């Protein structure tokens, strides 16, 4: 087996948080070190709905509110 030059880590974040740029790992009481993160891809995030998958401009809630303000009836 050969040693790889990097490791992949799954980081679970809340939609209201920013993407962390590092994590501090504690091995024991005397040894700690900082691991820097590099993101290959970041999903679109809507701050209006607080969900991943679309941005603020493509928000379905915003489109529905625009229709309601324009006087269109929603059945």
pTM > 0.95: yes or no: no
CA-wise closest residue to 22 among 14, 67, 32: 32
| 37-59 pLDDT, tens digit each | 888 888 888 888 888 888 888 88
Residue 14 is predicted with a pLDDT of 80
Average pLDDT, the chain: 79
Residue 1 is predicted with a pLDDT of 61
3-state secondary structure of 40: coil
């Amino acid at each position: 087996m050969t040693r790889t030059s990097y490791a992949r880590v799954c980081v679970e974040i809340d939609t209201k948080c920013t993407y962390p740029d590092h994590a501090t790992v504690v091995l024991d009481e005397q040894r700690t070190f900082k691991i820097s993160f590099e993101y290959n891809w970041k999903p679109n995030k809507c701050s209006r709905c607080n969900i991943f998958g679309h941005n603020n401009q493509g928000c379905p809630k915003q489109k529905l509110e625009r229709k309601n303000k324009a006087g269109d009836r929603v059945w």
